Structure formats: C-alpha cells, structure tokens
A = this chain, B = another copy of it.
C-alpha cells in the first residue's frame, strides 16, 4: 500500500456534505473520567507516577478494561499489556469489508515520575468516551473502531521508550527489552511477568495490523496558548539527535593556577553552550537545540574543572536541518576547544528521523475544524509521540489541545475543560467519518 493509496482511503470528497450533528456531546464527562484515572498512581506531589508494570499502572489498566466493558466496548489485553477496547463493525453493513483494518485511536497510560494527569491519559479517556458516544448515537459502525491504552511511551522505568506502539507495529520485540533493568535492578521481562503479561500469559501477541491511528494529546508546549488557537494539527513529529559532549582539560587548584595557564573544561563548555544557543537562534524556527545538563568534574568550587560533560538535544522537522545544525555546532565546539587547549569528544546516543503525519487525515482534521468553527494551527510536534511509531506502519495523525503555560511532565500540567472538549469533538467527528462514512 503506497502513501497515495492510504490518502485516498481517508479523504472522502463528499465529507462536507455529510455534516452530522453531535447531540449532547457536551454532556460527555471527560474531565471526571480524567480525574478518576489520575487517582491511579496519584503521588504525594499532587501529580501522577504510573510506571510500566508497576502497581499503579496495573490497577489503572485493569480499571480501564472494566470501564471499557461498562461503556459497551470489548476489552482485550495483548502480551505487552496494551489494552484495546473495540467497537465492532456491523457485519451486515453493506460497506463493511473483512479486509478493512480497524481505525484505532488512543495514547499511552504510563507517566513520567511526578507527571501530570493529561499526558497520554487524555487520548485514552477521550478515545473510550468517543467510542461510547458514537455507539450510543449511531450504533455499530461500518468499520471497526478501537481505542488503545498503550502500555508504555515515556521510557520512565526502563531505558526504552514507545514499548507499546513498537510492540504493536513490530518495531520491537521482547528480545529487544527483556534484559533491560529498572533503577532497582528489576529485569524488564520479570516486571512484565509479574504484572501478568508476557508470552506465558494467555493474551494474544502484541503485533497486529491497524488501518489508521489517530492520537489526541495535549501539546506540552506553549504554541497554541500563545498564538490563541484551540486545536493543533500536527504536520510532522520532529526528528532529533541527542549527544553527550565531553570536554577535557586539566583539573587545577583554583588559587594557585594563573588564568593564562588554565585548561578549564567548564569555561570551554560554557562557551560551547553559548554557541549552541546562538547557532539555534540563527537557524530559526522550528529548529530547537538544548543543553539541559552539564556535569563538571570534580565539580568543586575551588578546583578548576578538568572535565565537563554536557547533553545536547537538536530537533527539527527536516533531517538535513538537524545535520546542518550539528555540523555548525561541532565546528564551533572544535574552535572553542582549540582556543582553550581542550580535548573534545562526543557520542551520539539518539537519532530519530522526522516523521510527517498522513496528509489525508490532516486535511480531514482541517475541514472538521472549519466546520466546528475551531481555531486551528498546523504545527510540528517538538515532542516524540507514539504516532511517530505508528505512521510508518499505517496512516497516522495527531491532534493537539493547548497546555496551560506549556507545562508538562509536572503535577502542574493543565488543560481547561473547554479545550479538552474541543479536542474531543474533533476526535468524535473524525472517528465518525472513518467509522460511519460511506
């Protein structure tokens, strides 16, 4: 199936003619269900800590399975612990085809440590309620709709992210992760088995075919809020490269070493960090480059640092822009290292290509926003999401709602109920179109 083929199947030209009304959609208790879900893993800081296969995670997934059943969906786990809620297509529908793969919405159930209650959870809760609403209003769809509560996205417990979507799409398998250990030395596979999943469980294998994936998510940035838009339509998820850069000089006594003889690794690193910002600003949006961590060694106030290691994170929606920016930074680092008589070393430890979202679905979302009179903004996602894992396997799109002050991965993460409901309406219309459209 080529890209244009996929596009065709998600662009119903007569869409605008089929405007449905959404009776009582405002009565859907999305906020209440989000608050309920946040009780699983509620931490002492007012946030949510729900890590893959831990107690809070198990309780939340099991409670969601019950909730799906209550909402009229068929709930089913897979061996990875992904939870699917299915609204089966009407087998008698003239449009239904055994070859139609299900349209899937959802997001991830896991959180970062001391995270907020919207990241991931919003897409899961909205998906369940959207399917319940559609079933109540329109009965069985012509094409099967599913909501998925993905087991893992954050990489907060084990050093591996997107386990849920990667295991579904076949981008990762148990052998890739089984020996990983969490901070407490627990093996990945043991944690999985302890939670009741894995190949020894009675659940089906995680890998499956999907017709399309649609993810509703909070923006986790300030763009929508600052620009005054309600809906973000994600054009692409940025690619990123992450490096750790090591600058080596000579540790010396801060009192006895004249300035001119110093090979101060921290002073050199500081010049490099300033260069990162300068080059990123020159490159212009949407390029972002960040140094978030630096560790000087020995890291004592009265010793000239002999070594400094800093992180570097570069993101853009075009791979060549990332490469170009890194090249410029490396040239600047090399010059600075020479000036300071320092040695420079670096290690690339992450390289993710930018992923464009499906153009057909993007166009449908744009049309829905016009129809719903919602102010929308087509934008890149600067954060990684499960959608970047799904897109290579099936047509995929993301819808953002504003994050208050852009705060995320924090107990203060917040989106107004009005904005949550606007995103929900977009999701309902989109699922209606693909599930019930001709």
Contact = CB atoms under 8 A, between A and B. Distances in A.
B273 A291 contact: no
A385 B235 CA distance: 64
A363 interface: no
Contact of A382 (B255, B294, B300, B311): B255
Nearest to A408: B253
A242 interface: yes
Contacts of A381: 255-256
Nearest to A240: B255
A259 interface: yes
A271 interface: yes
A51 B175 CA distance: 50
Copies in the complex: 2
Instruction: Determine which residue in A261, A273, A381, A406 has the highest number of CB atoms from chain B within 10 A of its CB, and name it.
Output: A273
Contacts of A270: 269-274, 277, 291
Interface in A261-315: 261, 264, 266-267, 269-274, 276-277, 280-281, 285-294, 296, 298-305, 311-313, 315
A252 interface: yes
Nearest to A277: B267
A384 B274 contact: no
A69 interface: no
Given A221-B253, A293-B299, A259 B274 contact: no
Interface in A225-279: 226, 238, 240, 242, 244, 252-261, 264, 266-267, 269-274, 276-277
A79 interface: no
Interface of A: 219-223, 226, 238, 240, 242, 244, 252-261, 264, 266-267, 269-274, 276-277, 280-281, 285-294, 296, 298-305, 311-313, 315, 381-384, 406, 408-409
